[in-house]
Amino acid sequence: MPCKPKLSLKEQAVENQYLEAIFRYLYPNLKTCPKCRKKTKFHKVRKLKIYTCQRCGHSISPLSNTIFHKSSTPLAKWLKAFDLYSKTNGKITIHALKKELGVTQKTAWRVKHKIQKLLSDKDDPLYDFLKGRVI
Ligand SMILES: [Zn+2]
């Protein structure tokens, strides 16, 4: 299997910012833990895409059930893809997407396919969040 290029510290910081934005968007009023029911704070777990309750350790994975779930493509590339998709009114080719994002043809295809799917699925938890970026 080809080795995935590691993100630089700066890129990782950007990823964390996007993850934080998605977490805050999906859980805007998370002052009480859904598990232990106590007033708490959630902290991101280092190197993982999850947040845990500082009291009971209950973890929340903001990306599960979203189009980013289990994707190894960085969020920055996903969001760039949304912008490109928007700018071309969805007419961006797989080839152009591949070049712009610096990903494989397979990844470019999957990203485009998932963007199309998301834009036709208002039930997706990130529909409004991402649609806002597309317009
Ligand atoms: Zn808790």
For 58-72, write each residue's pLDDT tens digit.
Answer: 999 999 989 899 899
Instruction: Report CA(32)–ligand 1 centroid distance (Å).
Output: 8
3-state secondary structure of 46: coil
> Which two tokens mark 104?
């494989």
In the chain the beta strands, taken as DSSP E runs, fall at 42-44, 51-53, 59-60
Give burial (CB, 10 Å; 0-12/13-18/19+) of 4: exposed
Question: The sheet that has 42-44: what strands, in order across it?
Answer: 42-44, 51-53, 59-60
Half-sphere exposure of 107 (CA within 13 A, CB side): 18
Domain segments of the chain as ranges: 9-60, 75-134
Q: How far is the CA of 24 from the centre of ligand 1 (A)?
A: 17
Convert the pLDDT of each residue in 1-53 to its tens digit: 455 668 899 999 999 999 999 999 999 989 999 999 999 999 999 989 999 99
Q: How far is the CA of 59 from the centre of ligand 1 (A)?
A: 8
